[in-house]
Amino acid sequence: MDDAEVGEYRRLATRDGLTLSEWVRQKLRLAAREAPSGGVDRKLAAIRAAARHDFPTADIDQMLREIESGYES
């Protein structure tokens, strides 16, 4: 990084009340959390596995009535 870039990051860190090193750590943690996890094949396999399940369910209106009745008790 050149000095101008470091200066801009330092300004942003100061604006947020952080040291430059803490600001960088927080940005790196955020980037790691937002990075895609696993490959496309792994994600498709998970979707296909979930689609093989056949769970009983109720009519949506019935489920909503039951949920609402739980709030009233």
Task: Please state, rounded to an integer, the average pLDDT across all residues of the chain.
Answer: 91
For residue 38, the model assigns a pLDDT of: 78
Does 73 score more than 80 pLDDT? no
pLDDT in tens, 9-37: 999 999 999 999 999 999 999 999 998 77
Does 39 score more than 90 pLDDT? no
Across residues 40-48, what is the average pLDDT?
A: 90
Q: How many CA atoms lie within 13 A of 44 on its CB side?
A: 3
